[in-house]
Amino acid sequence: MAPPALAVIHRDHEVADLEALAAPLGITGSVLVQSQPSDEDTDFLLHEAARQPFVRGVVGWADMKAPDAPARIAALAARPKMRGLRPMLQSLPVDWIADPSIDAAARALVTHGLSFDALVLPPHLPALLDFARRHPDLAMVIDHGAKPPIARGEIDDWAAGMRDLAALPQVHAKLSGLLTEAGDRTTVDALKPYVDVLLDAFGPDRLMWGSDWPVLNLAGDYAGWLAMACDLVPAEAHPAVFDGTARRFYRL
């Protein structure tokens, strides 16, 4: 039974549903990102990717602290559209990523040319910074801009943490997930200070737009979020933020 707050998205969402929303807006492909901390979820996404041309890549999940994590990563890397892993750090203690037992998996990602999606909240940023410093060759992207506290109008601590991470050249960020963090502050004017921090810290060549669909449906819709993001990002940065950065980061 889904919590009432999630009722609007508590159903199956297919690649065909996504393509029907995205293709009329000029979007020609997408990267699927895991939503469950399970091998079965990752295998399902890879199965869908193999039969759906619209899917250009998959970011899956694996238990990065398991003794056999490097072997699992090697097996996943052999799948044609596998692009990276995402542990669901937002649901884990802030020091989970500080455990040295994760390092063998991180090294395996580098060895096999895979990247790391960091699904974090602002309190996780210091530990994520230490992790990124330990693994300077691991390409990393911070999902949903680390979910800044837009609804509370707070920005300073989040911005400082993001700027520290942006100082590391292998770290990227996603312009996504902001509407679901905004509460009633969902206007362009309310989001602009946060988007400006991301643009200034990472630059367009390390910032990529993401839909966060279908979770996006809790706070908006695909076409509306894309239009809002286009308004928030200067036109000269559009080729990178809405296309080039993701292509390059995910090797599409």
CA triple 148-165-55, angle to 5 deg: 70
- State the average pLDDT for the chain: 95
Residue percentage of the chain with pLDDT more than 70: 96
Structure token digits, residue 132: 């990124």
Whether the per-residue pLDDT at 40 is higher than 50: the answer is: yes
Task: Tell me the per-residue pLDDT of 172-225, one tens digit each, with 9 for 90 and over.
Answer: 999 999 999 999 999 999 999 999 999 999 999 999 999 999 999 999 999 999
The residue with tokens 């279908």 is: 214
Question: N- to C-terminal Cα distance for the chain?
Answer: 37
Structure token digits, residue 116: 């790391």
pTM: 0.95
Going from the C-alpha of 123 to that of each of 158, 191, 206, the distances in angstroms are 8, 20, 22
Structurally, at CATH architecture level, domain 15-248 sits in: Alpha-Beta Barrel (3.20)
Q: What is the pLDDT of residue 1?
A: 46
143-175 as b/e, with b when 16 or more CB fall inside 10 Å? bbbbbbbbeeeebeebbebbebbbeeebbbbbb
Residue percentage of the chain with pLDDT more than 90: 94
Q: What is the pLDDT of residue 127?
A: 98
Q: What is the pLDDT of residue 9?
A: 57
Whether the per-residue pLDDT at 7 is higher than 90: the answer is: no
Task: Tell me the per-residue pLDDT of 64-116, one tens digit each, with 9 for 90 and over.
Answer: 999 999 999 999 999 999 999 999 999 999 999 999 999 999 999 999 999 99
Residue 30 bridge partners (DSSP): 55
